[in-house]
Amino acid sequence: MAAILLAEDDDSMRRFLKKALERAGHSVIDAAQGDEALTELQLREFDLLLTDIVMPVMDGIELARRATEIDPEMKIMFITGFAAVALNAANQAPEDAKVLSKPFHLKDLVHEVERVVAA
């Protein structure tokens, strides 16, 4: 399955998402904020960056921009309660990034992750 970097600042949400993705067979490295995730991106390769948008220190959009500089082939997926922010062209989010709005069901997350990785 996929190697996924999960960036989510909410501890319980991050643990919950990591566990669901691992149960689906994915390898998941998690980070509590964008700068921690950026460090992970510099250490290893990932198939997918799954990131919240609103996080301290470095938001998910900046993280996604930097991630695509490191690996232009990496897929990007935002999980957010602020979908309009992600879809705003002025924020310069990667054009082909997928946005999954909170709240979502775990089976929907797993399905979308698998769809994005396979594309």
Residue 87: band (very low, low, confident or very high) from pLDDT cuts 50, 70, 90: low
3-state helix/strand/coil string of the chain: CCEEEEECCCHHHHHHHHHHHHHCCCEEEEECCHHHHHHHHHHCCCCEEEEECCCCCCCHHHHHHHHHHHCCCCEEEEEECCHHHHHCHHHCCCCCCEEEECCCCHHHHHHHHHHHHHC
Q: State the Cα–Cα distance between residues 37 and 42, nearest whole angstrom.
A: 9
Its CATH class, for the domain covering 3-112, is alpha beta
36 against 119, higher pLDDT: 36
Q: What is this structure's pTM?
A: 0.89
**What percent of the chain has pLDDT above 90?**
65
What mean pLDDT, rounded, does the chain reach? 88
Average the pLDDT over each of 4-8, 42-46, 57-61, 100-104 and give the range with the smallest value: 100-104
Residue 81: band (very low, low, confident or very high) from pLDDT cuts 50, 70, 90: confident
Residue 4 near residue 28, CB atoms below 8 Å: yes
